[in-house]
Structure 1
Amino acid sequence: MLTPLVSVLLLLGLLITLFGAVRRVMLWRRGKPFEVNVWAGLSSIPRRYLVDLHHVVARDRAIAHMHVATAGGFVAAMVTLSVIYLLGLDNSVMHLVALIACAVMLLGAQLVAKRRRLVPTHLSTGPWMRLPKSLNVFAGTFLLVSAFGLFGIESLPSILLVLLGLAMIAGMGEMLLGMTWGGPMKHAFAGALHLAFHPRPERFGGGQSTGLRPLDLTEPHLGVAKSTDFHWNQLLGFDACVQCGRCEKACPAFAAGQPLNPKKLIQDMVVGMTGGSTTAYHGSAHPGQEQQLGEKAICGGPEQSLFEGLLDPDTVWSCTTCRACVEECPMMIEHVDVIVDLRRYLTLEQGATPGKGPDILKNLIATDNPNGNPPLQRHNWAVDLHIPLMAEVKQADVLLWAGDGAFDMRNQRTLRALVTLFRRAKVDFAVLGNEELDCGDLARRLGDEATFQRLARTNIHTLSQYTFRRIVTADPHAFHILKNEYPDFGGNYDVCHHTQLLAELVDQGSLKLKPFQELSVTYHDPCYLGRYNGGYEAPRSLLRAIGINIKEMERSGYRSRCCGGGGGAPVSDVAGKRRISDMRMDDVRDTGAEIVVVACPQCSLMLEGGVEPRPEVRDIAELLLEALPPQVQHFQSGEVEAS
């Protein structure tokens, strides 16, 4: 009697789950086309799940153990139970394997329950609070079923059989039906397919993929206004969200009290896809925002604008595009792509760029730089340095890309220091001078893809006239754009950040430095050098080369807090409770360091804009300049002079 009952209930549960899966897939397919290799994607799920996904999850070992026990036990139990009760492979070994799998899952369920007793503020509650009960019911019920099968117990009293059947229905209701019909377990089904058909497959296997996808400017509608404007696998990615709140915890805009909460944003996208309302977000990591972030999000469906009753434009304009949310997401969801897609609609279709955005974009169109400086003054910073111009020499080993720091007196100090370092190391370099235009980073992050593409194509045409081995820049934003986003328009270059070339010169012995005796220093990782391009080691190796023992901030490396200067955030200027740069300077103060070393002109400006007294802000090139030993000049008379 027991075997037919289990077989029927399992089959019924799987059929209803399958029907829900087809229904969910049809919902995703309402999005725009995106070409994928179906079989290659499906076959890659185990590796991407066990390696790439768990690489992120394992940063918190307790959570990793909980996830392995729960998810691994569930998958093993379902496979084994299906083999026994649906395929008829009924023997003691299979029942023992099923029993062990259910026991492991039951252990994981206890860990889930423990985590839910004291819920962190970033962790979603609501339906998620019933998850430990559902896990326990499923694991406990099928543990009992497996034990009966192992000992050959087939006949049970009617009342026990009924109770066991009800328990199986209750357990499968959340664990199976919830995967495709909605509920906390929805992320398991969608998450596996999200790994298979990820919009950025290059991220897997240790690769990097951080450049924005080009926008076809000939399309009738630009950017994303409604959920069906997203690619179908982006919609799939929204359903993969596990609402763990890691993105929320890492987001500098959210911590500053601005409207953006990455977790709620993704859940709002689910509402936009399905219609109706949700209270997916429960709680807040900072006071005073509970009502705003906890109220219901309402949308009429996939054909209604996301900005009509669901999404406040200030939410997407708060983002600094620092990718902290993407870095922390265990499901590898691409929040920044979503935000920029939404911005493209607001800027290109609605002309609704906030704050100083309209003036900045007008300046980029009129003068090819965001602050409206006369283009012929771009090279004034180096007028006394006699740097070779590419227009004159036609070729050089290194093309130094000055960036818009060339117009700013503060960042001109960095560029001048870099020139001195290059000359001391005998680097063959030249600059474009006034031929160089803005790289287009700010225009693109503000959603003005048309201006970005014009700037990119013009710069690529200019660069095509000259011969050089690589481009070097002190601006991580220009570094990222030139390296990762210009190739889409035919501009393929070997690009490196100035810290990377300087570290190479030191390693080769071309650049000799003297160590400092005593210096109290911490280092701030720029987002576009670190999280976007993995540039963590070169700056630190340079500091070690001059005898500095870095006082690392708690949030450093891939978890570094943004300075607040990226993604056009200073331009849109969305109000919050605090400035992100002030929070970052608090991180610096906590180390006790007297100097914070940076490697980005935006970081310099943002951190120096903090309230005094504060630690001194120095670019790494400026610090290395002080570490140069006196240069000895030889004269024909044989005398020497130290400079």
Structure 2
Amino acid sequence: MLNVLLPLLLFAALSLAVIGAIRRLQMWRRGRPSNVDLLGGLLAMPRRYMVDLHHVVARDKYMANTHVATAGGFVLAAILAILAHGLGLHNRILGYALLFATVLMFVGAVFVFKRRLNPPSRLSKGPWMRLPKSLLVFSASFFILTLPVAGLLPEGFGGWMLAAVLAVGVAWGVSEMFLGMTWGGPMKHAFAGALHLAWHRRPERFGGGRSTGLKPLDLNDRSAPLGVEKPKDFTWNQLLGFDACVQCGKCEAACPAFAAGQPLNPKKLIQDMVVGLAGGTDAHFAGSPYPGKPIGEHGGNPHQPIVNGLVDADTLWSCTTCRACVEECPMMIEHVDAIVDMRRFLTLEKGATPNNGAQVLDNLIATDNPGGFAPGGRLNWAADLNLDLMRDTPAVDVLFWVGDGAFDMRNQRTLRAFVKVLKAAGVNFAVLGLEERDSGDVARRLGDEATFQGLAKRNIQTLAQYRFNRIVTCDPHSFHVLKNEYGAFGGDYRVQHHSTYMAELISAGLLDLKADTGGSMTYHDPCYLGRYNGEYEAPRAVLRALGIEVKEMQRSGFRSRCCGGGGGAPITDIPGKQRIPDMRMDDIRQTAAERVAVGCPQCTAMLEGVVEPRPQVKDIAELVADALIEPAVPAKPAKRLEPEVIA
């Protein structure tokens, strides 16, 4: 009976899986066109899966090993089962190979089952609770069926009752594995995930690369709305990426807004986009809701507006764009891109930026700075410092990008400290002065691509007049935009954060420093320096050079908790149960450090806004400036790090 039934079950499941795959492909193709190397992506997919994806998955050794055993065993078992039982190739070697594959899969499935006995709250439940059982049934059924193929049992053993039981088991396991991959079951992530890796929105992330700059919006293309209004307004490979979500909830666990009780859960946001892709409601979502928003009240389809249908606007405005969700996602989904795309529509098409958002954007247009300060006061902080201006200097080693810390009295101390360091090292530097405008970071994160592009192009036009080796700034947000996002508009520069540059000065022996004696210290990694640009070591190298032993927080490095100051979050000001900077200060207090070193004006403002008593907040430039050994006599100009000057 099984000799007849097995091929029918296998090929019926395969046929339905092909139909389901075509159906999902048609759903993804509802999105906008995207320039993707289809064949090249498919050829690169195995390496992206085995190396890049598992580089992220391997952070959790338990699940990494489990996934290798389960997924690897299933792929091997499925291929061999089709050969042995579907095509009837009863070869003993083939049988032993299939037995090995099913045992491997079974062992992995046992560990999946164990994880699901008492799952953490971040994991989605519902159909996902069924998956371990289906994996076990699939592997066990094919193991028993393959024993005769391997010659370990005679053909037809066990009689019709065992055959019937095995037929049910095979039907269950096969339907879950093959149909679930394409018709929307838990295994869907396997099919969508493989193609997502092949046709990823940011292929430059693979092979050890880094890609964090937002994609430019074509403001002249009026064939579609500016930004994303409806699910079909995403590119097709973005929709594919949403469908690849495995609902593991690692993004949820990392999200500072979710932890603060603001109405954002990045996992649910992605699943809401999947609902919009297929049409329906969120009533069957089996994970954590948006804080303060019950499940079952939202729905939509590819052709209906997302906001006030699938999600509420305050969900999008809660995001700090810290990329913690993206950094943790084992499927390498781009949550932040999706959120900014939807913000662009709200800002550019609807003018619906909440709270102080509209005022800040108006200020940027009118005064070139978000605070609305008179542009003529941009250099007031340095009135007594006799700084060289680029317009008076033919060429310099360093163009010091001041940023909007120029208008903030607290951050003026950081700027003055860094100038002191530059002068002590004999660096040939200058500033733009009144020619400098806001980098556009805030405008872009709030979705105002038009204002961002206007600021960027004007800054690029200004910079094109001058000759310098590099741009150095104390602001990671300006650093990121200048380094990673101006290039799309013709502005390609060597840009460094001031911590990186100071580490070079110290390494070159251009600074005489005494040991810091100010007390114990921890270091807070800025999101736009760390997760966005991979710079974790330079700030710590500077602190070590000062004789400081950093007392690391539990959440540091690529898992550093956001201060709450990015993405325009202080401007949109969506309420939660607690403040993100208060949570970060609790992380700091747990180290028992007396001080916290920072390298970002936003981080300084957010952490110093925490009610005292709390550790003292000091920028790295301030620490270095305080440690400078003043020369007894004026020193000769130090040797420049790079004497040649490039345009």
TM-score normalised by L of structure 1: 0.96
Alignment of 1:21-40 (within 5 A): 21-40=21-40
Counterpart-to-counterpart distance in 1, 2:292 and 2:162: 47
The answer to whether the 8 Å contact 1:227/1:269 transfers is yes
Counterpart-to-counterpart distance in 2, 1:456 and 1:427: 27
Give the drift of 1:210. Answer: 0.2
2:214 equivalent to 1:212 = yes
Give the drift of 1:86. Answer: 4.2
The answer to whether the 8 Å contact 1:563/1:584 transfers is yes
Q: Which amino acid aligns with 2:148?
A: F
The answer to whether the 8 Å contact 1:3/1:154 transfers is no
Distance 1:398 1:578, change over 3 A: same
Aligned to 2:231: 227
Distance 1:282 1:20, change over 3 A: closer
Counterpart-to-counterpart distance in 1, 2:11 and 2:326: 38
Aligned to 1:641: none
Single out whichever of 140-149 and 246-255 deviates more from structure 2: 140-149
Counterpart-to-counterpart distance in 2, 1:317 and 1:222: 17
Structure 1 SS opposite 2:562: coil
The answer to whether the 8 Å contact 1:199/1:234 transfers is yes
Counterpart-to-counterpart distance in 1, 2:347 and 2:258: 23
Could you list the per-position Cα deviations for residues 360-399 of structure 1 after superposition, in whole angstroms to 9, with x for gaps in the alignment?
A: 0000010010010001110111111111100011321110
Counterpart-to-counterpart distance in 1, 2:99 and 2:453: 59
Alignment of 1:350-429 (within 5 A): 350-429=350-429
Give the drift of 1:584. Answer: 0.3
Structure 2 SS opposite 1:618: strand
Structure 2 SS opposite 1:426: coil
Distance 1:396 1:280, change over 3 A: farther
Could you list the per-position Cα deviations for residues 445-488 of structure 1 after superposition, in whole angstroms to 9, with x for gaps in the alignment?
A: 00000000000000000000000011000000000000000000
2:547 equivalent to 1:547 = yes
Counterpart-to-counterpart distance in 1, 2:539 and 2:312: 39
2:164 equivalent to 1:159 = no
Q: Which amino acid aligns with 2:256?
A: P
The answer to whether the 8 Å contact 1:264/1:280 transfers is no
Could you list the per-position Cα deviations for residues 318-343 of structure 1 after superposition, in whole angstroms to 9, with x for gaps in the alignment?
A: 00000000000000000000000000
2:195 equivalent to 1:193 = yes
The answer to whether the 8 Å contact 2:282/2:295 transfers is no
The answer to whether the 8 Å contact 1:319/1:569 transfers is yes
TM-score normalised by L of structure 2: 0.96
Aligned to 1:275: 279
Q: Which amino acid aligns with 2:235?
A: H
Structure 1 SS opposite 2:398: strand
Give the drift of 1:173. Answer: 1.1
Counterpart-to-counterpart distance in 2, 1:607 and 1:282: 36
Aligned to 2:295: 294
Counterpart-to-counterpart distance in 1, 2:216 and 2:297: 34
Counterpart-to-counterpart distance in 2, 1:623 and 1:504: 16
2:481 equivalent to 1:481 = yes
Counterpart-to-counterpart distance in 1, 2:463 and 2:22: 50
Task: Give the share of equivalent positions with the same residue, in percent.
Answer: 61
Give the drift of 1:89. Answer: 4.0
Aligned to 2:336: 336
Q: Which amino acid aligns with 1:171?
A: G
Structure 2 SS opposite 1:399: strand
Distance 1:418 1:518, change over 3 A: closer
Counterpart-to-counterpart distance in 2, 1:257 and 1:466: 48
Could you list the per-position Cα deviations for residues 4-27 of structure 1 after superposition, in whole angstroms to 9, with x for gaps in the alignment?
A: 432222111111111100110011
Counterpart-to-counterpart distance in 1, 2:634 and 2:272: 70
Structure 1 gap ranges (5+)? 636-643
Counterpart-to-counterpart distance in 1, 2:516 and 2:607: 24
2:248 equivalent to 1:247 = no
Counterpart-to-counterpart distance in 1, 2:263 and 2:382: 42
The answer to whether the 8 Å contact 1:256/1:580 transfers is yes
Counterpart-to-counterpart distance in 1, 2:583 and 2:535: 23
Counterpart-to-counterpart distance in 1, 2:328 and 2:291: 23
Single out whichever of 73-82 and 409-418 deviates more from structure 2: 73-82
Aligned to 1:534: 534
Single out whichever of 30-39 and 513-522 deviates more from structure 2: 513-522
Aligned residues, how many? Answer: 632
Give the drift of 1:148. Answer: 2.5
Q: Which amino acid aligns with 1:567?
A: G
Single out whichever of 434-443 and 112-121 deviates more from structure 2: 112-121
Counterpart-to-counterpart distance in 2, 1:620 and 1:410: 14
Counterpart-to-counterpart distance in 2, 1:87 and 1:424: 78
The answer to whether the 8 Å contact 1:389/1:430 transfers is yes
2:501 equivalent to 1:497 = no
Q: Which amino acid aligns with 2:263?
A: P
The answer to whether the 8 Å contact 1:224/1:230 transfers is yes
Counterpart-to-counterpart distance in 1, 2:243 and 2:547: 49
